[in-house]
Structure 1
Amino acid sequence: MSKYILGLCLSDHDSSACLIKDNRILVAISKERLTRKKRHGCSKGDFDNESVQYCLDYAGISIDDVDLIVQNSIFTYLSDPAYYETLRHYKGSHDYSERIINMTQHPVLPISHHLAHAYSSYYLSPFDEAAILVIDSMGNEDHSVMNFFQGEDRGFLLSSGYRATGGWERESVYTAKGGIITPISKRFARDTQPYDSLIKGFGIMYHEVSEYIFGDGHKAGETMGLAPFGKADYPLGAVSFTEEGYAFNDEWLKQLDKPHLSKDQWNDRFEEFAGLAYQVQTELEDSLIHLCNRIHKETGLDHLCLAGGIALNSVTNKKILDRTPFKSIFIPPAAGDSGISIGCALKGYRELGGLPKEFVFLNDYLGKTYSNEEIVQAIENSGLQFRKSEDICKEVAGYLSEDQIIAWFQEGSEFGPRALGHRSILCQATSIEMRDSLNARVKFRQSFRPFAPSVMEEYAPDFFEMDFKSPFMLMVTDVKKDKADVVPGIVHVDGTARVQTVTEEENGIYYRLIKEYAQLTGIPLILNTSFNVNGEPIVETPADALNCYKSTNIDILVIGDYIISK
């Protein structure tokens, strides 16, 4: 008889749900995709019903059919059993969420934040044996890890004699073999001052600099994109290395004492902000290389799994691969908090006897595939013109070669922050003018932010300095010098690109589109950016796609085999 496991991320940002059936991930979705509120999370009175119902509807089951629920919540009030009782009364006795929330009526396993991250990376990786590094802004408080959450982290702390001091998870190291994950070290920020306890971690370091530069600590991607424009003239001095590892300087945050500026004022201080971005990026890279070298020395393992928000720093990921002894590294596409639900579900799979590790994770397309009937109904409701194509890849490749901007919507949505060819906006990469037109007409992003290429995997070494796969767009590498002028639209100011490698087995129709384009132009790659406008979540439904198309200057919208025009 089939077993269903529901994984939940109940964070105050980027909450999500994932449903596993037996040894296969059926579906996963972030709350923001359904509510259309960027980084939408949970709070008292705002449980993530949307993501849960989406997963249950996809499988055609009810909550009563779920064998085990595994959840993580990042803040203490979400880790308090009394919180579940509060939510139960808020939702009402007949709401299906009562069965999730009331832990006495349904099997619910709560696990720690970093343990969920560890499962999300290792169990999706191709490795049987690997080291795992989880590193982010903050995980769970040590009291909660020891007294509320279950699983390997709790056992490790109790057996080691650790005494909780009110610190928060900032770095966890594990080893894994044959599906069994074993903690080997955990570091908590345990300062007596509440705010100081948060600044002594790499995630918070990057968050605070992003807050200072952009007025939003979640704009780490913008900070990473700005860094190559900077010089080493604005030393941060946040981290120093020690024999034990590293230490944070208590004084570094005092540099960031000015309020966020207006756009005009910001432009006047571009050089300063770029220099600060350069410095925080450099300190992050040096620190993680130092840390990963130490992990390799301690474990002697060839493979490394990364997870946590810091693992989305694709520049650092490549530096780790280049400058540590690890032969290969794996980063899950949803390395940040949205991926927690997958880690929770995979922990549930392990708890219900899922050994050895049998997952084969080919792609990140974990959303629902909408039927032709649903697509046509949405288009008709929009009032836009449409027709069905006889050969969608060939026809769209022709439009791309004519400098058209294409919104491309196919099958199930990607899970995580990257658009990987199912919810993408596409254009040629052969001119800077095309890139700038895309930004000015559609994306409305800062001009210093680069766009990424999707390249047929077999041709990636011809265009980029790479001998590795990068299916989830989580590695930045150098563009070959003789190709920079061929595809200037995806080349950053430092001569790099954040590459997605594409294969027919893993990417299906998206690979076939790029192949058709290559046959027309001789260029086996296209520019790929997420199907959304700045500040909004990536589109999920056909209606979302149509609304975004109508509000922008995208030339053509493609949904399945249908071509829509204004």
Structure 2
Amino acid sequence: MIILGIHKDPWHNTGAAIIKEVDNEVQFAFISEERLNREKDSRVFPIKSILACMKQLNINSKDEIDLIVMDHIEDIDWRKDNKTREVIVNDFFKDINEEKIKIINHHLAHACSTFFSSSFDEAAVLIVDGRGTMKETQSLFYASTKDNQINLLDSTDKVGIGLLYSTVSQKIGFGKMQEGKTMGLAPYGRDNNKRIFNFPKEFVGVVTDYSNVVSEGTYTLTAEYDKEISGWDDVATAAYEVQEECEAAFLHLAKYAKEKTKSDFLCLSGGVALNSVSNDKVLKSGLFNDIFINPACSDTGIPLGCALYGYHIAKGRPKSYSTINPYMGPEYSVEDINKAISSFTGFSIYERNAIEKLTEMLIDNKIIARHYGRSEMGPRALGNRSILMNPTIEENKDVLNERVKHRESFRPFAPAILEEFTCDYFDLDRQSPYMLLVPNVNEDKRQVIPAVTHVDGTARVQTLTKERNGAFYDLVESFYKISGVPVLLNTSFNVAGEPIVETPEDAIRCFLSTNIDALLIGEILLIK
């Protein structure tokens, strides 16, 4: 059985995922189109993603696909191309029997992506984003692996916290889909003893209504709330205020989900679930025994949600796996890597004891890039497409920004830690494998890992296990044995404005065009 999930125009972050079942063994492939066409937040039809997933799972023809599942906006023909707005039948679909095509609700795809990726047998599932198929902004589902149920309990099309957060982010100078910058900036406005907006808290059930604050259609602030924002203090205050509002809205929605479902477990999805600070507040509230957020909880994860819907609900297949490994991108052979290396110059090649050499370089405060295995899903690097540095030197945050990343100085970098040391360094009593929780750094460790400790004493943690992270775990462990610190600074392998690197060629090109000192690509280490 082969199920293809597609997220296509007119949405952003298009991509594809395939689930292939052979002799009761389930295989996954997933990638976003931006990784392949190098267009950030790509909106084009994801033909490159589809072909990459087919190649990864040895699918030679689209005729082998049993079902294609997509999300789409209700009043737009699914054949309409976002770029031209002309009604066309894409070449990919022209000879496919339409009985093989299933269109599902956007929020349902989000719900499938997070619940079926979790280890829970049942859970409340909360979706919080901009707009969905029916213009909905927030939805609550109850899900169970018994009969593969995902039932909608409540939904709203009122302007929600996601649209408010996006609107304020643009008001203070950030672009579309740059809400992460607002989250990083917010702590700098915490101690400013003023409020700019004083948002009304109209929270009832699944509704967090900001219709009086955000103008429909234009998604700008209404006249009453379109305040003048001038200077650093105002910008930081506005960021803090909308972040504070996001945390309050999330806590309200979590309480409602608990009251409505009585479940001990919560799954979150939608773009707002990338707000790791709010996620941590929900976890710390104690409303649920545990929460889960898929690393591709934004629209990047919709293709996976569509494929999971097709496999578990449309085809009725039981869940035979515990959780989904996030490393589902294309695999590159030794031949692929050698071919890429031979196309460039400007480095020496080091092929023995790479981990030992990398550890020496990290101790010596060099900037290391890592392109290893299959790429991770979602917008945050989880080790396989990462830039790494020594976290014990406070200046490294600025060094990395100046030499490679070229991004705003107020944005923090993440710590990747050996999971068995998590409690020693952070106020966190469980795993956080996808950088989707932001706990406090323990006070006695803030000066130990200053390069990954944010201004408010928090950190966006990635916990590592040998089983899940393999050679990345080995590298951090090697650093620990020499430094006594089981942590590395981890950030995405890209420069500002570009997608995370995907292919070996992408990796070497970025390595050579920046001041990265060394690149581990597969088992081969390239050193300038």
User: Shorter-chain TM-score: which interval?
Assistant: over 0.9
Letter of the structure 1 residue corresponding to residue 28 of structure 2:
L
User: How far is 1:362 from its partner?
Assistant: 5.0
Q: Are 2:68 and 1:59 aligned?
A: no
What is the DSSP-based 3-state SS (H/G/I as helix, E as strand, rest coil) of the residue aligned with 2:209?
strand
Distance 1:237 1:10 in 2: 38
Letter of the structure 1 residue corresponding to residue 122 of structure 2:
E
Paired residues for 1:13-28 under 5 Å: 13-22=12-21, 24-28=26-30
Q: Are 2:263 and 1:301 aligned?
A: yes
Of the three residues 483, 486, 508, the one matched with 2:445 is 483
Letter of the structure 2 residue corresponding to residue 39 of structure 1:
D
Partner of 1:31: 33
Q: Which moved more, 1:430-439 or 1:414-423?
A: 430-439
Partner of 1:169: 136
Partner of 2:282: 320
Of the three residues 181, 192, 196, the one matched with 2:150 is 181
Residue identity over aligned pairs, in percent, reads 41
Q: Are 2:335 and 1:337 aligned?
A: no
What is the DSSP-based 3-state SS (H/G/I as helix, E as strand, rest coil) of the residue aligned with 1:538?
coil
Paired residues for 1:126-275 under 5 Å: 126-141=119-134, 168-178=135-145, 179-189=148-158, 200-230=159-189, 231=192, 233-242=194-203, 244=205, 246-248=208-210, 250-251=212-213, 253=221, 254=223, 257=226, 269-275=231-237
Partner of 1:152: none
Instruction: Report if aligned partners of 1:363, 1:507 keep a CA contact under 8 Å in 2.
Output: no
CA separation of 1:491/1:82 partners in 2, compared to 1, >3 Å: closer, same or farther?
closer
Partner of 1:72: 71
Instruction: Report if aligned partners of 1:305, 1:330 keep a CA contact under 8 Å in 2.
Output: yes
TM-score (norm 1): 0.86
Instruction: Report if aligned partners of 2:127, 2:138 keep a CA contact under 8 Å in 1.
Output: yes
Distance 1:224 1:553 in 2: 27
Distance 1:174 1:9 in 2: 21
Paired residues for 1:318-397 under 5 Å: 318-361=280-323, 363-397=325-359
User: How far is 1:345 from its partner?
Assistant: 0.1
Distance 2:245 2:31 in 1: 33
Distance 1:82 1:336 in 2: 22
Higher helix share: 1
Instruction: Report if aligned partners of 2:80, 2:88 keep a CA contact under 8 Å in 1.
Output: no
Distance 1:90 1:111 in 2: 19
Instruction: Report if aligned partners of 2:174, 2:181 keep a CA contact under 8 Å in 1.
Output: no
Partner of 1:98: 94
Letter of the structure 1 residue corresponding to residue 138 of structure 2:
E
Distance 2:295 2:285 in 1: 22
Letter of the structure 1 residue corresponding to residue 287 of structure 2:
P
Partner of 1:116: 109
Q: Are 2:397 and 1:428 aligned?
A: no
Instruction: Report if aligned partners of 2:56, 2:331 keep a CA contact under 8 Å in 1.
Output: no
Partner of 2:478: 516
Query: How many positions carry a matched residue from both structures?
Result: 511
Partner of 2:499: 537
Per-residue deviation, residues 319-367 of structure 1 (Å, max 9, x unmatched): 0111241111000000000100000000000245444322333531111
CA separation of 1:201/1:397 partners in 2, compared to 1, >3 Å: closer, same or farther?
same
What is the DSSP-based 3-state SS (H/G/I as helix, E as strand, rest coil) of the residue aligned with 1:432?
coil
CA separation of 1:82/1:417 partners in 2, compared to 1, >3 Å: closer, same or farther?
closer
Letter of the structure 2 residue corresponding to residue 54 of structure 1:
A
User: How far is 1:435 from its partner?
Assistant: 1.9
Letter of the structure 1 residue corresponding to residue 151 of structure 2:
T
Distance 2:89 2:203 in 1: 50
What is the DSSP-based 3-state SS (H/G/I as helix, E as strand, rest coil) of the residue aligned with 1:28?
strand
User: How far is 1:182 from its partner?
Assistant: 1.1
What is the DSSP-based 3-state SS (H/G/I as helix, E as strand, rest coil) of the residue aligned with 2:395?
helix
Instruction: Report if aligned partners of 1:237, 1:249 keep a CA contact under 8 Å in 2.
Output: no
Partner of 2:527: 565
User: How far is 1:64 from its partner?
Assistant: 0.6
CA separation of 1:479/1:320 partners in 2, compared to 1, >3 Å: closer, same or farther?
same
What is the DSSP-based 3-state SS (H/G/I as helix, E as strand, rest coil) of the residue aligned with 2:439?
strand
User: How far is 1:257 from its partner?
Assistant: 4.4
Q: Are 2:412 and 1:450 aligned?
A: yes
Per-residue deviation, residues 259-305 of structure 1 (Å, max 9, x unmatched): 9xxxxxx9x71110100000000011111101211210121110000
Distance 1:502 1:223 in 2: 27
